[in-house]
Amino acid sequence: MIAEHLPALQVAVPLAAAPLIVLLRHPTLAWWIALGACGFALLAALLTAAQVAGAGTVSYALGSWPPPWGIEYRIDTLGAFVLVLVAGVAALVVPFAWRSVAAEVPREQHYLFYAVYCLCVAGLLGMAATGDAFNLFVFMEIASLAMYVLIAFGRDRRALFAAYQYLILGTIGATFYVIGVGLLYLMTGTLNLADMASRLPLAQSERPVLAALAFITVGMSLKLALFPLHLWLPNAYTFAPSAVTAFLAATATKVAVYVLLRFYFSVFGAPLVSAELPMPQILLALSIAAIVTASLVAVWQPDLKRMFAYSSVAQIGYITLGIGIASRDGLTAAVVHLFNHGITKGALFLLIGGVVLRAGWAGFERIQGLGRSMPLTSLGIVIAGLSLIGIPGTAGFVSKWFLVLGAIENGQWWLAALVVGTSLIAVAYVWRFVEAAYLAAPGPRTPAPGEPPAAMLVPAWLMVAACIYFGLDTSFTVGAARRAAALMLGGAP
C-alpha cells in the first residue's frame, strides 16, 4: 500500500519535516526529526533503486493526474542512483551535525538549521525524482534557497558575503534554466520531460530549441560550477559550517550534473547534442581548463577546506569530461565519478569538520603534526585523498579507469595521458597534507592530542569505508552507471 507511494514520499517526508521542526522550536527534537526524515528518505531511495533495478523505470502520477497533464515522478536507473547518493549522504551528515553544529551554530538557531537542512534535502531529492521540467525548477529553487541560508550559518562574517554571491549567481543560473524551459514549452506545449522528448522532433523551428539548449547548458553549468562559472564555490565551501560543506560538496553540484545529463540525453537526445552541435568539444575544453587550473590553484591554498573546494572544481571537470567524451564508457565514467566523487568529498569534508572542531580552523599551520594528535582523522583524510588521486583499490580509481577507457576508445590518447597526468597535481595537494600532518613536528597552534567525538568520527569513517568498498566492489556503482549510460545513449528516457 505505502510502497507504491515511495517515489513521492521520499521527497514529501523531508519537506513536511521542515515546518514541523519550526513549529516545535526544540533543538533536540529538531535533530531527531531531521534524522528520522533523512533515514526514511534513504530507506525509500534504496527500495526505489531495488524496484528500478528489478522492474525498470518507475512512474508515479502525483495526485493521480495521469502524465503528461499532471506532474509525473519518473525515476529511472540514473535518477535512482542519484537519489541513493543524496539520501545516503544526507542521512550520514545528520549524526555528524549533532556535535559539529552544536559547536558552530548558536543553540537558539539549531531548530532553524535542521528545518532548512530538511528543505535542502527535499529539494535535491525532488530534483532527482521529478519528471516535470517546471517542477524541477521549483525543487531546484527550494534546494538553492535552503543552501544560501545554510552557508550563511557560518561563523565567519565572510560566510554572509559568500552566501550572497552564491545567491546572485545561483539565481541567474536558475533563471537561465527557466528561460530554456520556457522556450521548450513554447515549441512543444508540454512540460513533461518524456513527452517533451517525443514532441521535440516535431518542433516547427530549430532555432528556439537550440537557444533553449544554450540557456539550459549555461544555467546548469553555473549550478554545477563548471569552469569558468565556479566563482561562487570556493568561498561558499570554505566559510559554510562543516556539516553544510560536507553535504553540499557531496550532493549539490552532483544533482546539477544529473539535470544536465537528463536534458542532454533524455530530452534533446544524443544525436542533437553530440553529433549536430559541438557540445562535446566545448565541454572537453572547459573540463580540461577546470582540471588543470583548479588543481594548480588548489595546491597553493592556505587551508584544507579551501584546498579541497578548489579540488572539487577540478573533480567536477572530470565528470563533465566524461560527458564530453560522449561515448558509452565516457558517460559511464561521468555517472560513476558523480557518485565516487560525492562520497570521497563527503568523507574529506566530514573529517575536516572534525579538525575544525578541535583546531578552530583547518589552516596548514594548525595541522602540523596532526598525524600524531589525531591519528584516525589524519589516516581517513589520507585514504580519501588517495581516492581523490585515483589510486587502485579506491573509488576514485574506478572513475579514472573508465575515463581513460573512453578516451582511448575515441582514439584520443593525449586525453588519456592528460587524465593520468593531471592526477599527479592531485598527488601534489594531497602530499601537502601528508607533509604537514606526518612529517612536520607539532607546532604551537596544533590542537592537543585527541580525536573528535565518535558522533563525528563514525559517519566520516563510514564514508571513508565506502570510498574503499566502492573501489573494490563495483557491481552497484558501475552496474547502475552502465545501465544509465546505455539508456541515455539509447535516447529513451
Partner 1 sequence: MSFASHYSYWVTVLLMTAGLYIVIARGNLAKKLIGLSIFQTSVYLLYIAPGKLIGGTAPIIAEGFKVYSNPLPHVLILTAIVVGVATLALGLALVVRVREAYGSIEEDEIVAADARDRDAG
Residue type, 176: F
- Of 5, 25, 26, 158, the one binding partner 1 (CB under 8 A) is 158
Alpha helices, DSSP H only, in 390-474?
A: 395-409, 413-434, 454-472
C-alpha cell read off for 161: 558575503
Does residue 179 interact with partner 1 by CB under 8 A?
Answer: yes
CB closer to partner 1, 58 vs 124: 124
Contact 93, 350 (CB under 8 A): yes
- Of 172, 210, 299, 486, the one binding partner 1 (CB under 8 A) is 172
Instruction: Give CA torsion, residues 428, 429, 432, 434, to 10 deg.
Output: -90
Quickly list DSSP for 116-171: HHHHHHHHHHHHHHB-BHHHHHHHHHHHHHHHHHHHHTSSSTHHHHHHHHHHHHHH
Contact 333, 402 (CB under 8 A): yes
Does residue 161 interact with partner 1 by CB under 8 A?
Answer: yes
Find all residues with CB under 8 Å of 263, minimum gap 6, and list them.
193, 213, 216, 220
3-state secondary structure of 21: helix
Contact 34, 94 (CB under 8 A): yes
3-state secondary structure of 422: helix
Burial class (CB in 10 A: 0-12, 13-18, 19+), 198: middle
Number of C-beta neighbours around residue 447 at 10 A: 18
Count the site residues for partner 1 by CB under 8 A: 25
Residue type, 403: L
Does residue 361 interact with partner 1 by CB under 8 A?
Answer: no
CB closer to partner 1, 141 vs 451: 141
Does residue 171 interact with partner 1 by CB under 8 A?
Answer: yes
Q: How far is the CB of 182 from partner 1 (least distance, A)?
A: 5
Find all residues with CB under 8 Å of 441, minimum gap 6, and list them.
368, 369
Does residue 431 interact with partner 1 by CB under 8 A?
Answer: no
- Of 178, 222, 226, 484, the one binding partner 1 (CB under 8 A) is 178
CB closer to partner 1, 81 vs 137: 137
CB closer to partner 1, 164 vs 431: 164
Q: How far is the CB of 451 from partner 1 (least distance, A)?
A: 27
Binding part of the chain for partner 1, among 149-157, 256-264, 338-346, 370-378 by CB under 8 A, reads 149-157
Find all residues with CB under 8 Å of 112, minimum gap 6, and list them.
22
- Of 164, 431, 469, 476, the one binding partner 1 (CB under 8 A) is 164
Q: How far is the CB of 210 from partner 1 (least distance, A)?
A: 16
CA-based torsion, 471, 477, 478, 481: positive or negative: negative
Does residue 141 interact with partner 1 by CB under 8 A?
Answer: yes
E strands present in 269-374: none
Does residue 214 interact with partner 1 by CB under 8 A?
Answer: no
Binding part of the chain for partner 1, among 74-82, 170-178, 218-226, 285-293 by CB under 8 A, reads 170-178
CB closer to partner 1, 167 vs 355: 167
Q: How far is the CB of 342 from partner 1 (least distance, A)?
A: 26
- Of 129, 145, 338, 389, the one binding partner 1 (CB under 8 A) is 145
CB closer to partner 1, 149 vs 224: 149
Does residue 175 interact with partner 1 by CB under 8 A?
Answer: yes
Does residue 182 interact with partner 1 by CB under 8 A?
Answer: yes
**Residue found by looking up cell 553540484 in the block:** 253
CB closer to partner 1, 151 vs 415: 151
Contact 367, 437 (CB under 8 A): yes
Q: How far is the CB of 184 from partner 1 (least distance, A)?
A: 12
Does residue 160 interact with partner 1 by CB under 8 A?
Answer: yes
Binding part of the chain for partner 1, among 51-59, 144-152, 260-268, 392-400 by CB under 8 A, reads 144-152
The whole-angstrom distance between residue 339's C-alpha and the CA centroid of its chain comes to 8
Secondary structure element (H or E) that encloses residue 395, with its range: helix 395-409
Does residue 163 interact with partner 1 by CB under 8 A?
Answer: yes
Does residue 22 interact with partner 1 by CB under 8 A?
Answer: no
Give the residues lining the site for partner 1 (CB under 8 A).
Answer: 134, 137-138, 141, 145, 148-149, 152, 157-158, 160-161, 163-164, 167-168, 171-172, 175, 178-179, 182, 185-186, 191
